[in-house]
Amino acid sequence: MPNRCIKEGDNPDLTKERKTCTFDTDELTANLYGSRNNMERRREITKKISADPDFADPIPHDFLSREKCIEATAKKTKAVVQRGSEFCDVTNYYEMLHLINEAIGIGGYPLALHYGMFLPALEGQAEKELTDDIIPRAKNLEVIGAYAQTEMGHGTNLRELETTATYDKATQEFIINTPTRSAMKWWPGNLGKMSNYAVVTCQLFIDGRKIGPHNFLVQLRCEKTHEPLPGIIVGDIGPKMAFDTNDNGFLALDNIRVPRKNMLMKHAKVSPDGVYTPPMHAKLNYGTMVYVRAHMLYAHGQFLATAAIVATRYSAVRRQGRIEHGVPEVQILDYQTQQHRIFPQIARAYAIIFTYMDIKDQYDAMIKGIAEGQTDLLPDLHAITSGLKSVVTHMAGLGIEQCRMACGGHGYSDASGLPKLYGVQIGGCTYEGENMVMLQQTARYLMKAVASALQGKPLSHSVAYFGKKSSGKSRIGKEGGDIAREHEAMLEALEHAACRLSVEASQMWEKRGRGGETKERAWNGVTVEMNRAARVHTRVFMARSFHRRVTSSPPSIRPVLTDLLSLYLHYECVDMAHHLLEDGFCSGEQIRYLKSRLYEDLTTLRPNAVSLVDSFDQSDRELNSVLGRRDGNVYEALYQWARKSELNYTDVLPAVQKYVMPMMEENRSKL
Ligand SMILES: CC/C=C\C/C=C\C/C=C\C/C=C\C/C=C\CCCC(=O)SCCNC(=O)CCNC(=O)[C@H](O)C(C)(C)COP(=O)(O)OP(=O)(O)OC[C@H]1O[C@@H](n2cnc3c(N)ncnc32)[C@H](O)[C@@H]1OP(=O)(O)O
Ligand SMILES: Cc1cc2nc3c(=O)[nH]c(=O)nc-3n(C[C@H](O)[C@H](O)[C@H](O)COP(=O)(O)OP(=O)(O)OC[C@H]3O[C@@H](n4cnc5c(N)ncnc54)[C@H](O)[C@@H]3O)c2cc1C
């Protein structure tokens, strides 16, 4: 069966791996990206960008200062903007995303938040009077914007943000002000240096009454000189763990006046005479965050895929140690521990990307509903995207770190690309709402679902399984080798655990309430259990999505995807074994059975491991990793990469000349 990556001159071990492929890698790639045409388009973009001198990096960014990296990234951004249509259909979201990844990379660029949040916020929340003026100019990039919500003192708890927007009826303006140091906007991407406008989240005050957080469009810099406008203090917050090429910024506003129409008023409104009309759903103003949380799944699935590609290919190329005496050193991918470290990450990357596809469909349906005046799909989508954002970012972070360690010493080098990848990816646990907080949003929803299920009321999409009758005892290991039934038995077991944990958390909460605590204090006493239930529920949702995609996949790739799904489900069940055992739903014998099946899966997947990661179809540019390169010629590339270090420009460093040599000389003369 063809693995389409084989080329002459490649590392022979990688070629050997590709020859054991049992499926058509292009079929799987096309399935992952929606169609064969989408796959071809991605490849065309990659090919053109790779050959274009505007996007060449003579010195890898690993060896440049932050300022130089920002300059190089800004230059490439300009080229993408001016020449984008030479490479792709600039109106196609996924083509643009791929172009940006290929041309610029993942560490941030001047327009990341402009496209990622500023425009979506205006499009989703502003009304015509404002959008007619600002959106054409924003699309034309006369206006570049940030999404300035988080403050130095508050991010998670939006209700306590301190920046104020006070309505002045006399002039029909809002006065926007930063009343304290902790009220300074702090963190927003591209706010520091690149943007001349921002959507700023403020507490709305009318006639002295605090109404709550709302968004306003504020001009920050002169459109001609790019200097900050009077009354505006703006700058970069300094170096951080990663996202080096993003100017996350600070902002203080000194009683800045903006016209009434600058409030984003598609949902909530303030009339000229100061009458406030609430939105048809109280949280529609938070819509941009739901949008980003949904789209983060795709990005984080791809981040984990990158790490899995690097670790798998490198493990096929690297030989070290022997499994038996008297035979040559083995590829490290032959070690069971290595497979157990890496293969679940491959499966999880597929699971995340497949789950994203389901969420995207739900998101589109919700947006259609809102346009028709219906918000009934929003609570379910908010609850599940809050859980998914938290589980997926955490899962991807752990997975990337496993892949990094699986590459030994070279994984610790920036040459592997993995330290930077981890730094960028792990930010997702924090931004768009810290994970522990967002899981509580899911848990609240589960508590309502428990109540509805007990009362026999209808249950919405993500919690529909709460209405199923549990069989009381798991069928795991009792399906006589029927793989479809085995998968169903594992899904049922996970659903049982999520449901049980939710019911128990609800009972614990109630009990504390009966003991005299307020509902809120009682909640804080059970949040660890609440979040546990939310995590298991979210992992059930992912497992169901993965299962649905596999069972409906084309026959040519279904066998390999079924193997991957088996590994995924066995791994998830073993990882959550304590939840399955706690109430006796599963026995110890059944967990031992799951483990033995998992180890069989590792062996089954071994011949297809490289081909499964090849099917993610990430180019060498996207991987940005000496260890993960498609041709597997790792060692020579590693040496050439290290030669580019600034420290190697001279044989004797000035610092050595200035301090170390005189010290050695002094010591020598003392003898
Ligand atoms: C070309 C490329 C283009 C695009 C790429 C697209 C996307 C790319 C992604 C990123 C872009 C690139 C790089 C990005 C890098 C970083 C970006 C980071 C940006 C940010 O971080 S922006 C700041 C984000 N901030 C947060 O997320 C804050 C988190 N806090 C909150 O959301 C809220 O405070 C809260 C939800 C935790 C609590 O809010 P509350 O106190 O007002 O509400 P309650 O908890 O009391 O709940 C009441 C009620 O409301 C329900 N609820 C809450 N939120 C929502 C919602 N959003 N939708 C629907 N319902 C909601 C809640 O469930 C309760 O319901 P109930 O029925 O009463 O129980
Ligand atoms: C790379 C990056 C990019 C960002 N980009 C943007 C941007 O473009 N625009 C923007 O506006 N913001 C941005 N942010 C800010 C980001 O959205 C916030 O940092 C994030 O929402 C978390 O809020 P916080 O910093 O207030 O965390 P905190 O809430 O202070 O969290 C600290 C700790 O307190 C815990 N905690 C807080 N509240 C609760 C609770 N109710 N229950 C239990 N535990 C709790 C948390 O779990 C966490 O452990 C960015 C942040 C990063 C790291």
Q: What is the mean pLDDT of each run of 10 residues along the chain (671 residues)?
A: 89 97 97 97 97 92 94 97 96 96 96 98 96 97 98 97 98 98 98 98 98 98 98 98 97 98 97 97 93 97 98 98 94 98 98 98 95 94 98 98 98 98 98 98 98 95 94 93 96 98 98 97 98 98 98 97 98 98 98 98 98 98 97 97 94 96 93 72
In this predicted structure, what is the pLDDT of residue 470? 83
Instruction: Please check whether residue 396 is in contact with residue 414, taking contact to mean a CB–CB distance below 8 angstroms.
Output: no
Tell me, in angstroms, the distance from the centre of ligand 2 to residue 572's CA: 28
Whether residue 469 is found in the same domain as residue 524: yes
Contact 427 CB / ligand 2 (< 6 Å)? yes
Annotated binding site: 150, 189
Residue burial 127-155, b: 16+ Cβ < 10 Å; e: rest: eeebbeebbeebeeeebbbbbbbbbbebb
Contact 159 CB / ligand 1 (< 6 Å)? yes
Measured at the CA of 540, the angle between CA 487 and CA 365, to 5 degrees, comes to: 115
Whether residue 328 is found in the same domain as residue 238: no
Whether residue 345 is found in the same domain as residue 440: yes
Whether residue 273 is found in the same domain as residue 394: no
With respect to residue 88, please indicate whether it lies within any of the assigned structural domains. Answer: no
Instruction: Please check whether residue 124 is in contact with residue 285, taking contact to mean a CB–CB distance below 8 angstroms.
Output: no
Return the DSSP state at 147: E
With respect to residue 531, please indicate whether it lies within any of the assigned structural domains. Answer: yes
In this predicted structure, what is the pLDDT of residue 114? 98
User: Active-site residue 432, yes or no?
Assistant: yes
Q: How far is CA 633 from CA 222, 322, 626, 638, in A?
A: 51, 22, 9, 9
Tell me, in angstroms, the distance from the centre of ligand 1 to residue 504's CA: 27
Whether residue 262 is found in the same domain as residue 173: yes
Give, using CA atoms, the residue closest to atom 54 of ligand 1. Answer: 283
Whether residue 393 is found in the same domain as residue 248: no
The CB density around residue 600, as the number of other CB atoms within 10 Å, is 13
Give, using CA atoms, the residue closest to atom 45 of ligand 2. Answer: 437
The span from the CA of 248 to the CA of 191, in Å, is: 6
With respect to residue 265, please indicate whether it lies within any of the assigned structural domains. Answer: yes
In this predicted structure, what is the pLDDT of residue 471? 82
In this predicted structure, what is the pLDDT of residue 58? 85
With respect to residue 434, please indicate whether it lies within any of the assigned structural domains. Answer: yes
Give, using CA atoms, the residue closest to atom 63 of ligand 1. Answer: 441
Instruction: Please check whether residue 195 is in contact with residue 222, taking contact to mean a CB–CB distance below 8 angstroms.
Output: no
Q: Domains in the chain: how many in total?
A: 2
Tokens of residue 185, six digits? 């906007």
Reference 207, options 172, 260, 169, 175; nearest CA is 169
With respect to residue 65, please indicate whether it lies within any of the assigned structural domains. Answer: no
Q: Of the candidates 229, 252, 277, which is a domain's last residue?
A: 277
Ligand nearest to the CA of 108: 1
With respect to residue 22, please indicate whether it lies within any of the assigned structural domains. Answer: no
CATH of the domain at 147: 2.40.110.10
Instruction: Please check whether residue 561 is in contact with residue 553, taking contact to mean a CB–CB distance below 8 angstroms.
Output: yes
Contact 4 CB / ligand 1 (< 6 Å)? no
With respect to residue 638, please indicate whether it lies within any of the assigned structural domains. Answer: no
Give, using CA atoms, the residue closest to atom 69 of ligand 1. Answer: 444
Q: Of the candidates 256, 277, 298, which is a domain's last residue?
A: 277
Task: Tell me how far the alpha carbon of residue 358 is from its chain's centroid.
Answer: 16
The span from the CA of 606 to the CA of 141, in Å, is: 49
Whether residue 272 is found in the same domain as residue 287: no
Residues recorded for the chain? 671
Whether residue 465 is found in the same domain as residue 588: yes
Contact 96 CB / ligand 1 (< 6 Å)? yes
Tell me, in angstroms, the distance from the centre of ligand 1 to residue 387's CA: 11
What's the domain range around 133?
123-277
Mutate to test the pocket of ligand 1, among 96, 186, 286 (most ligand atoms within 8 A of CB): 286
Tell me, in angstroms, the distance from the centre of ligand 1 to residue 156's CA: 9
Beta bridge pairs of residue 250? 186, 235
In this predicted structure, what is the pLDDT of residue 175? 98
Amino acid at 465: Y
Mutate to test the pocket of ligand 2, among 119, 430, 439 (most ligand atoms within 8 A of CB): 430
Identified catalytic residue from 17, 27, 151, 432: 432
Whether residue 157 is found in the same domain as residue 294: no
Q: At what angle do helices 336-371 and 378-406 cross, to 10 degrees?
A: 160
Q: What is the DSSP string of 274-293?
A: --EE--SSTTGGGHHHHHHH
For 337, half-sphere exposure in the C-beta direction (CA atoms, 13 angstrom radius) is 6
Sort residue 475 into left (φ over 0), alpha (ψ -120 to 50) or beta: alpha
Whether residue 270 is found in the same domain as residue 325: no
Q: Of the candidates 221, 251, 277, which is a domain's last residue?
A: 277
Whether residue 198 is found in the same domain as residue 156: yes
Instruction: Please check whether residue 362 is in contact with residue 461, taking contact to mean a CB–CB distance below 8 angstroms.
Output: yes
With respect to residue 18, please indicate whether it lies within any of the assigned structural domains. Answer: no
Mutate to test the pocket of ligand 2, among 109, 114, 147, 156 (most ligand atoms within 8 A of CB): 156
Residue 587's contacts (CB-CB under 8 Å, 6 or more residues apart) are: 474, 581
What is this structure's pTM?
0.97
The span from the CA of 295 to the CA of 356, in Å, is: 7
CATH of the domain at 474: 1.20.140.10
Whether residue 592 is found in the same domain as residue 522: yes
